């Protein structure tokens, strides 16, 4: 089945540094990938839509200069948290739709998530 690999699974960094998270579709091509963040005991919040070969589309309230998204190929999207601060500590999850698996609506395959802790 469709697999989305996310790396690293967890990362700890100092305040002010930048952290890059990779999201790869292993057995399918994804022109579109989605990035979510999730705080403890809360639901997933969509941050942005990553489009291969073009700029990402950010949801309202998400700082595009803070969360840089690059979708350079059909199998790789990256999220860079720039100048990270403790309030950026969260669980970041990427996802992609592997195509028309069903006759219905889009079904997303999610990565395992990346736990970011900023000290």
Partner 1 sequence: LAKTTQPISMDSYEGQEVNITCSHNNIATNDYITWYQQFPSQGPRFIIQGYKTKVTNEVASLFIPADRKSSTLSLPRVSLSDTAVYYCLASRGNQGGKLIFGQGTELSVKP
- Could you list the residues that contact partner 1 (CB under 8 A)? 4, 6, 31-32, 34, 36, 43-46, 49, 91, 93, 95, 97, 99-100, 102, 104-113, 115
Task: State which residue, 81 or 96, has the beta carbon closest to partner 1.
Answer: 96
Least CB distance from residue 86 to partner 1, whole Å? 19
Pairing of strands 109-110, 114-118: unpaired
Q: Contact, 114 vs 21, CB < 8 A? A: yes
CA quadruple 104, 105, 109, 115: dihedral positive or negative?
A: negative
Least gap, CB of 112 to partner 1 (angstroms): 5
User: SS3 of 68, please?
Assistant: strand
**CB of 32 or CB of 70, closer to partner 1:** 32
Nearer to partner 1 (CB atom), residue 20 or residue 110: 110
Q: How far is the CB of 85 from partner 1 (least distance, A)?
A: 22
Count Cα atoms within 13 angstroms, Cβ side, for 43. Answer: 2
């Amino acid at each position: 089945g469709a697999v989305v690999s996310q790396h690293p699974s967890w990362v700890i960094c100092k305040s002010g540094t930048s952290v890059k998270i990779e999201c790869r579709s292993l057995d399918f091509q994804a022109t579109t990938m989605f990035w979510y963040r999730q705080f403890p005991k809360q639901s997933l919040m969509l941050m942005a839509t990553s489009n291969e070969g073009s700029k990402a589309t950010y949801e309202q309230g998400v700082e595009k200069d803070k969360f840089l998204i690059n979708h350079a190929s059909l199998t790789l999207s990256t999220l860079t948290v720039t100048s990270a601060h403790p309030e950026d500590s969260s669980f970041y999850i990427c996802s992609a739709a592997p195509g028309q698996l069903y006759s219905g609506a889009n079904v997303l395959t999610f990565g395992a998530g990346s736990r970011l802790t900023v000290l």
